[in-house]
């Protein structure tokens, strides 16, 4: 009887340890490959100074290749005014750290200044939260993977 109780306790302990190890592996460890595919994003914020100061809102569709490169189109209204071009193209790079934080640089083909961003990836790579790091810009975005269930 004692042997059976010891074996049951040992089996329970092994199951608990295996479950904990599995949970850690499932929730930790990001890399550039964590974000691969298309993400639709909502952009909100404000440009704080200069000739184009004012609120902004928009959307973007960004493709991450899983190897640190991205392509993007965006449609951003500034002060409620639509952009000169319906969809502004851009390319860029990103780096995603093991703790699921990272950075991005976006370079626009229309001559607009490059943007430097910090990001946090959540929901196992299905959602990206971004903030612009450039002075005078208070803007955030949330991107959701296109084929991801809500």
| Domain locations along the chain | 1-28, 32-145
State residue 11's pLDDT score: 38
Give the CA diameter of the chain. 82
Tell me which residue of 132, 128, 85, 126 sits closest to 105, measured CA to CA.
132
The 3-state DSSP class for residue 39 equals strand
State residue 91's pLDDT score: 98
- The tens digit of pLDDT for each residue in 123-139 reads 999 999 999 999 999 99
Q: What CATH superfamily classification does 32-145 receive?
A: Quinohemoprotein amine dehydrogenase alpha subunit, domain 2 (2.40.128.120)
Distances (CA, A) of 53 to 6, 27, 47, 60: 70, 40, 5, 20
Residue 14 or residue 112, greater confidence: 112
Cβ burial 97-132 (10 Å sphere, 16+ → b, else e):
eeebebebbbebeeeeeebebebebeeebbbbebeb
- The tens digit of pLDDT for each residue in 68-101 reads 999 999 999 999 999 999 999 999 999 999 999 9
What is the dihedral sign for C-alpha 111, 141, 74, 143?
Answer: positive
State residue 71's pLDDT score: 98
State residue 147's pLDDT score: 86
Q: Does the predicted TM-score (pTM) go above 0.95?
A: no
Half-sphere exposure of 56 (CA within 13 A, CB side): 25
State residue 19's pLDDT score: 33
- The tens digit of pLDDT for each residue in 11-60 reads 333 333 333 333 333 456 999 999 999 999 999 999 999 888 999 999 99
Distance of CA 6 to the CA centre of its chain: 47
Tell me which residue of 88, 137, 98 sits closest to 116, measured CA to CA.
137
State residue 16's pLDDT score: 32
The 3-state DSSP class for residue 69 equals strand
């Amino acid at each position: 009887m004692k042997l059976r109780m010891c074996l049951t306790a040992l089996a329970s302990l092994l199951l608990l340890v295996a479950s904990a190890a599995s949970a850690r592996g499932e929730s930790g460890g990001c890399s550039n490959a964590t974000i691969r595919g298309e993400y639709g994003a909502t952009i909100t914020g404000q440009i704080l100074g200069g000739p184009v100061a004012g609120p902004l809102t928009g959307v973007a569709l960004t493709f991450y290749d899983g190897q640190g490169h991205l392509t993007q189109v965006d449609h951003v209204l500034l002060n409620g005014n639509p952009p000169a071009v319906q969809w502004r193209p851009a390319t860029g790079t990103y780096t995603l750290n093991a703790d699921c934080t990272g950075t991005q640089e976006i370079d626009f083909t229309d001559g607009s200044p490059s943007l430097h961003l910090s990001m946090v990836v959540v929901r196992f790579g299905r959602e990206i939260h971004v903030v612009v790091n450039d002075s005078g810009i208070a803007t955030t975005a949330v991107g959701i993977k296109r084929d991801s269930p809500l």
